[in-house]
Structure 1
């Protein structure tokens, strides 16, 4: 299974600080257990039927020109970059 060393290695590769590696080991094990439950559901032999849609029934893409500078309409931008809220 997953070890604390593997969690630490992945955290370093992702350049994130992880204080409690044991907490993440437990979370990864819980995810793997859940995938085991999904794998045991036995849906391999179920056939999924989908309605076919002819290409003629799809909408035609149309180009609609936009002459204004969209970046200038944004509230939070710097140069050509848009500032988004921090992810926590």
Structure 2
């Protein structure tokens, strides 16, 4: 029976270590999110549009090819809906 309780003790210690690491990471993430919120608030107080700022950040995260493909597809959809003039053919 001692062997099972020893294994249980090891598993318990590992579980506790994982839980504590996750809790620390959650706390760090909360702090980072609070910092991000503060920066957006500062940008807003300086007259920047936060919604547009978030879009700019999302665009910058994408690589060039992905961004160009999405923009071309968006343009195609907008043209199909008559929301922008169709590109003139040369």
More helix by share: 2
Q: TM-score range by the shorter chain?
A: 0.3 to 0.5
Give the TM-score, by structure 2 length. 0.32
